[in-house]
Amino acid sequence: MKYDKINKNNAMLLLLGILIFVIMGILQPRSFLRSANIRGMFIQLPEYGILCYGMMLAMISGGIDLSLVGIANFASIVGATVMIANGNTSFSIMLGILAALVVGIGCGLFNGFLIGYLKIPAMLVTLCGLQLYQGLGLAITKGPALTGLPSNFAKIANNNFLGIPIPFYVFIVSTLVIAYLMKSTVYGQQVKFLGANETASRYSGINNLKVTLLTYMFSGILGAVSGILISSHYNSAKSDYGKSYTLLTLLIVVLGGTNPDGGEGNILGVALAVFVLQLISSAFNILRINSFVKTFVFGIILIGTLLVSEYLDEKKQKE
């Protein structure tokens, strides 16, 4: 029963994606199918696509991670500071990326500790976390963007490998890692149990605290990876890049069939939803529709999706 619904949702997303692609291909073939547009999509999509996996993990565990964008920016700022201090070498880039990942792990563990040990609701912790990490980033940069990063760093987001932008490979690797984590590890099963019923999970011998810590740690790492991509894309680091991504990730994760109450979610659905949203976003840009209309439409899609899935659930229950 459950698998039917998930597959139906994914099939719908795939259909929607193809539909948008075909319509735009007919309406604006010159600009939509141009390689620059496709390339732009492949650079932009991983930035929030990777954040979505973090949000998905947190949501499956029965929580939510609103601090992802804050972690991304804070991690990239620390990474940038390290890089600037170590000069223009490949070693300094490695060191900077490592520093960013460490920051991501640290922030994630801090979130996980407050949520799992002190039992503060995830929504509140991560909302505060957003403020806290953004504030730390602001304290380091003192406001303006950090520039003067090593010249090779910008190549991460802006160079191609076999004709496809490098961020897209990062996205694929993240997808595979998370898919493996969810399908083939004990952790993957435990996080679903935890999200479905916390008490039952505790009584069945699962260490809830450990699972929560791991979940938010993974989420933090994903945030940091996205932060590295964003700062490489802009070749600078700032505390308020990608502010609109919080709602976007929530929307994608819900659209991808993740249950906002926890316990359910699939990677394929989220990945498909990332593509669909990127197609919509590009279509808006090419049709020169005001970006505020995009905000409006995304809000409607979010609520519409929830209404439809709620309606389908109700119908199924009646049967």
Query: Is 307 a binder of other proteins (CB under 8 A)?
Result: yes
Q: Residue 133 in contact with residue 65, Cβ under 8 Å?
A: no
Query: Is 208 a binder of other proteins (CB under 8 A)?
Result: no
Q: How far is the CB of 252 from other proteins (least distance, A)?
A: 12
Q: Residue 33 in contact with residue 202, Cβ under 8 Å?
A: no
- By CB under 8 A, name the one of 2, 290, 315, 318 that touches other proteins: 290
Distance CA 64, CA 54 (A): 9
Here the tokens at position 71 are: 């972690």
Number of residues lying near other proteins (CB under 8 A): 44
Burial bucket for residue 199 (CB in 10 Å: 0-12, 13-18, 19+): exposed
Q: Give per-residue burial for 134-146: e unless 16+ CB within 10 Å, then b.
A: bebbbeebeeebb
With respect to other proteins, which residue has the nearer C-beta, 175 or 236? 236
Query: Is 142 a binder of other proteins (CB under 8 A)?
Result: yes
With respect to other proteins, which residue has the nearer C-beta, 43 or 77? 77
- The 10 Å Cβ neighbour count of residue 188 is 16
Q: Residue 172 in contact with residue 268, Cβ under 8 Å?
A: no
- By CB under 8 A, name the one of 87, 186, 292, 318 that touches other proteins: 292
Q: How far is the CB of 105 from other proteins (least distance, A)?
A: 18
Query: Is 118 a binder of other proteins (CB under 8 A)?
Result: yes
The residues binding other proteins (CB under 8 A) are: 64, 114, 118-121, 123-125, 127-136, 138-139, 141-143, 247, 250, 254, 260-261, 290, 292-300, 302-303, 306-307, 310
